[in-house]
Structure 1
């Protein structure tokens, strides 16, 4: 029996456009846009990062640092170079991979005074409930198991071990374009599964 779809503030097809509007507002200093983006993406980011990091506290640290970094760097996103949602997700993924590579928990790097960051965190982050990590982890694995074997393996190696597409292409002895198709199709199916 399938679960009923989770209601969202905006349709999935409009998600990228909405993220881009929020990024533009955040670049102009709009804290409400940051709060809206946080509320819309916290659970999804946590679901993406938890299998990679393995600890709720590490996931929360990366998400917190990521939104602080997003606040400071939203102005660097350029629409002509790619969509805003992919840019944002890459920011969080790179922070998580940096944390894994460093072998220790990262500390927040602040570009403003610590007091301003703490004030922003209190206003934006504290009011949002934390996700149910064990439930989210179960959902992720359920959705991963729905994927074709090569897509699942490529996604897991890429997102949990940090392998590049080029490295995976060599590992699987398959053309780079084919490998990218596996990942793209798998991520789309994973996204659909996690959004329902």
Structure 2
């Protein structure tokens, strides 16, 4: 590195002081790598570009809180963009659940043949499922709730809880098997 070349850390600190030119240079250095990361996490070009823009706006607003003694500038930036991507994944999951919910509501409205007895039976089944879920060990219960009640993918769960993907999958599988046994055995 030549003595005239400015470090990422220096650029980020200058951007934290309001130096737009330093921030522009930081954008030029980081944007392609961060966009690649976001594409990989989100699997959608448009979403990745949106999160890239959101992330850089956040970076500009919070650059003053960067502490070079705690991490390198790129590492600090990656963490910000990673969290933004996880937030977007969660939001996309909520949108998908809303779409599914709307489809279910339409199906219910179209199928008015469901009688009161069926509704009572469904509510009783729902109580049994929640009771069985409550009897699972805490980690398995939490992972199943994230996957099935909150609609998060296994990858998103692993990222947000900082757990290995294999651990998430294994605990969800074990929890589902226990739920099945509880529901079949009626041991509630």
Structure (1 or 2) with the greater helix fraction: 2
Higher relative CO (CA 8 A, sep ≥ 6), structure 1 or 2?
Answer: 1
Bigger Rg over Cα: 2
